Amino acid sequence: MSDPLDTLLCRRLGCRYPIIQTAMGWVARPELVGASCNAGAFGFLAAAVLHPDEVGPAIDRVRALTAAPFGVNFHMFQPGAERIVEILIERKVTAVSFGRGPDKKMIARFRDAGIACVPTVGAVKHAKKMVDLGVDMLVVQGGEGGGHTGSVASTVLLPQVLDAVKVPVIAAGGFADGRGLAAALAYGAQGIAMGTRFLMTRECPVPQLTKERYTRASTDDILVTTKVDGMPQRMIRNETLARIEKAGQLRMLLLALSSAWQLKRLTGASLTELLSAARKMGHAGDMSFGQSLMAAIAPVMFQRSMISGEPERGLLATGLVAGRLADLPSCEELIQGIVREARARLAALGAPLAA
């Protein structure tokens, strides 16, 4: 009898279970990727906040922590993106993930190198476009997801995309346990992708004060804001977000300049490179320059919470699912719990009905 958890996701990416740990900026560092992969998931290293010189050593660090395959996330708008592409091909990572940015030629380069392309999309039209560009699989994130998010719930978006494309689809947005995995498989997905649930694990390198802020959050503490860069983002309410919500144009300009300077110091990117990244994001996403500038420098506001351990001074991107999570399991405990529960739910669905 075939194993319902041995899906195309597992066979194509080489992981034991159909679970992806997503690439959260400043969060999905080698320690988390190694732990999630060792537990049987497929982890993505977040390279979108790294300087190109840091990407190779980060990949090597993951390989020192796990013998399992893993992927790397980046975006084509970041400074040094072309160099990062070469590094990923040279290091022969198993998969790459990204949002909008790479074109058909870039995707073909990865595929020719034997690297699977697994982008994340939040709309049917974006799913179709990525398939036309030649990607291997899609992560479909419903509106419950963290960070930049859409307005269509996973229960609506997932079947829409499954009906529209012929490549394997992975469900994201609101997933955290075995019930969710069983439900995603029942829809026809090949697995689930989780971000917030992996952030809330013991091996995640985010400071404890920040993790505790996540465990205390209720669903009423989580909201979607457009104030940071003009695009909807799901976050936990805190002092910094409250100030941004009330800020006028001058205050937002000062915040942007301050953040740009700090991001320059953190990543080594020049101001010219940051401005160029903002322009590219604006052209690709139909955003104003002000919005794209804020999008380009927003990572520094997340750095304060995810690296510096100051959850009230930084921003706290989150999936809505954080509102029902209050524990910090190890990655092994998390994955084994999901697998046990998913198997139990799938077995119960297959059991004969009582007379």
For 76-121, how does the pLDDT look when each residue is reduced to its tens digit (9 = 90+)?
888 899 999 999 999 999 999 987 678 899 999 999 999 999 999 9
Which residues partner with 147 through β-bridges? 234
CA contacts within 13 A on the Cβ side of 26: 23
Within this chain, do residues 32 and 152 fall inside the same structural domain, yes or no? yes
Give the distance, in angstroms, between the CA of residue 134 and the centroid of all CA atoms in the same chain. Answer: 21
Residues 145-174 pLDDT 10s: 998 899 999 999 999 999 999 999 999 999
Asked, for residue 314, whether it belongs to a domain, the answer is no
Asked, for residue 269, whether it belongs to a domain, the answer is yes
Within this chain, do residues 172 and 249 fall inside the same structural domain, yes or no? no
111 with 134: CB under 8 angstroms? yes
How many domains, in total, are found in the chain? 2
**Residue 144 — φ and ψ, nearest 5°?**
-75, -10
Within this chain, do residues 234 and 177 fall inside the same structural domain, yes or no? no
Within this chain, do residues 343 and 257 fall inside the same structural domain, yes or no? no
Within this chain, do residues 14 and 124 fall inside the same structural domain, yes or no? yes
Asked, for residue 273, whether it belongs to a domain, the answer is yes
Asked, for residue 23, whether it belongs to a domain, the answer is yes
pTM above 0.75, yes or no: yes
Residues 244-287 pLDDT 10s: 888 776 665 566 656 555 555 555 655 565 555 555 554 455 55
Within this chain, do residues 103 and 91 fall inside the same structural domain, yes or no? yes
Q: Which of 99-103, 136-140, 218-222 has the lowest mean pLDDT?
A: 99-103
Asked, for residue 2, whether it belongs to a domain, the answer is no
Asked, for residue 316, whether it belongs to a domain, the answer is no
Asked, for residue 313, whether it belongs to a domain, the answer is no
* Domain carrying residue 274: 209-306
pLDDT score of 72 more than 80: yes
Within this chain, do residues 147 and 213 fall inside the same structural domain, yes or no? no
**Taken in order 250, 251, 254, 255, is the CA torsion positive or negative?**
negative
Within this chain, do residues 19 and 118 fall inside the same structural domain, yes or no? yes
Within this chain, do residues 22 and 39 fall inside the same structural domain, yes or no? yes
The CATH number given to whatever domain includes residue 143 is 3.20.20.70
Q: What is the per-residue pLDDT for 345?
A: 97
At 272, list the tokens. 């010219």
Asked, for residue 312, whether it belongs to a domain, the answer is no
CA contacts within 13 A on the Cβ side of 273: 16
